[in-house]
Structure 1
């Protein structure tokens, strides 16, 4: 049983919020799906890596460089353990966007890729730029990827299926194991965009049976500029490097170059040493709270908010009721940008509320929903009932302003 178990179920204590300096001053931050606030331990790890511990990695023979190299590779092992992978299968990248670009450009068997209507632009544009032929899987009525439709669409011409594990707009969760079975049935590989999954649910790539998994550190309470690509060892071995430079080489001559084995082959240049150290701290922090507790806590808040919005006759809700940490909606007669602006105004009744308003880098999904934008409230482990109450009070105030 989680240490956060109480009579009302899994409820993370409000005191956790005190560990996040960015939340000081009674600010109601409901934009965690865009980027999570950082706990003090991650900030401290960043300062330590940038200051007292700083040195390059993989190059220096002096003690501090050797120590930093050990810590850097320990962080790689930590990421691997976090998602149930092998250490040598983890490639450090700047984020999920770079990871998907790497696979789209370097995967040797380009063909047709099956995406879905709800994908983030970072899981659409790289495939276009790399010259893949794209097919688009529709959604179910409640906003999940329609795997029955995917089964009917997939053919041996498809060499890749690339789906969001959790939608950044709708919060809908993919049945990843079934998606993997359908992809593998026709000989395709499955790539999962895990940006919205890893901060709020346990991920085991072996159990998911996917072939590639990507995520960004800044949505996992870590820094920007760092993320991870996991790929099956045999697939990474068969892929040529995407970028060239220092570190990723075996031997360089003007006549030609040979490359290091994975994952080094895909990590050209001086790496993001500081960010990797901070990512390690973010994973430690998240697991110390407990992903099961985080998931249950956010699910309770999602239910609370959706039930309150369901009771209004001027709100349209998008996505399934069991959405993972995310609630997207539209307020009749009010553009989401206007709602977001009013919510952020200083107000003695409920304070300032930060939500996301726009297309959320998912323009094809907005077209499917028949809107130009939605308002999105997204929770983190630091979110509390008073954040929901403040948002609802702000919506009511907006309604009064617009009449």
Structure 2
């Protein structure tokens, strides 16, 4: 009998996209999400490349364009705020023939959720506690909801995936810190440069202000070895770590650190690469960052949407053989993910140079590139 009931852990970009497409293919998706609602914070994200045709078929492109950010350039500034280089950010053409969209992550998540919510069950403020699978299904216990049995389980629950931990093993076996940490927070009030992303570097540190759309966002990205006692849920610890990392920085950093102490909407985590030899184990499969995180530098949202579409399509084609469907999905999607993971080091060197000569060389390259356009 074909597998029909699917539990998806995580109501982020990957999980909600998958729920939408599974429902279209005749499955019964249930999504469990630890948070009480959709997370609204985080840096702006791009919907481009393989994600564009997915968004078009879902009918959400007009909404995404309405929520698009207003940034048209990146301005690199020095300690006094003087512009060192300004590089335009033109939208590029995708294979689908439409232009890419940059928008706040929360707006993308909301659009995907609203597309999926009428055809999927959502359990917010809950999480999976145990998974026990056999030849015919998976028994699941939750923190709050009553135990249930599902045909398949999908872990779309991010870098710190609960499903991956329960079904595959310890996080430290699969997650590799790439030498950076990132923090983001919203900024109240208007910005002086409504169309420019402002970037300020000191060796091993970057601060940026993104105008977004109506509510600007600040980001702190800095180089650091693994913080041994790091707790990704301890916001007060995160504030201390960022404050210490930027204690001597100039430009607007002191003002931003003051805002950091007061914010109630701070995202902070390691920039990491997730690698597993296989994304499936029996009736359990991983999707998005849980399977192949390329956080911060790797088009994570676009890859999450594309991967969800590929997984749903594979399950529809191989409805009677989930193992074959999982293999087909992984084989196809790795061709998109693997090159992005290999480019993380290059992207980090470009955004967060380690030394003052490195910063100067990057700024010179930006000016030369601009002069040749």
Given the two structures, how large is their TM-score scaled by the length of structure 1? Answer: 0.24
Larger % of helix: which? 1
Task: Please state which structure has a larger fraction of its residues in strand.
Answer: 2
TM-score, normalised relative to structure 2? 0.25
| Structure possessing the higher radius of gyration over alpha carbons | 1
